[in-house]
Amino acid sequence: MSNRRELYQSPSGDCWYLGREPGNGRAFIIHQPNSPSGGRLRHIELAAFLSDGSGKPEQQALLRLIATLVDVPPYSDRP
């Protein structure tokens, strides 16, 4: 069983989560399609999720979350 944090929910109801496997700490994306689509839950490697560089809202959400891990003042505030 993985731990997960919601990244983004689309207007159509698809959800993307950042997941982490508790046993080994491996991170990945979980995509849960909306119920009417009948899609199945899917795990996606982080590199594959970001590799197309399309800047989809779910990709932007992951990048914003990653950016919160860096404690650096904005460029204009640097000496």
Domain total of the chain: 1
Instruction: Determine the structural domain holding residue 63 and report its residue range.
Output: 3-73
Bridge partner list, 30? 17, 43
Are 20 and 26 in contact, with CB atoms under 8 Å apart? yes
β-strand pairing of 27-32 with 3-9:
unpaired
Question: Is residue 50 one of the residues assigned to a domain?
Answer: yes
Q: Which of 16, 74, 25, 24 is nearest to 50 (CA)?
A: 16
Largest Cα–Cα separation, the chain: 54
For residue 79, tell me if it sits in a domain. Answer: no
Q: Tell me: the pLDDT tens digits for 36-70?
A: 888 899 999 999 999 988 899 999 999 999 988 88
User: Is residue 65 in a domain?
Assistant: yes
pTM for this predicted structure: 0.79
Residue 78 lies in a domain: no
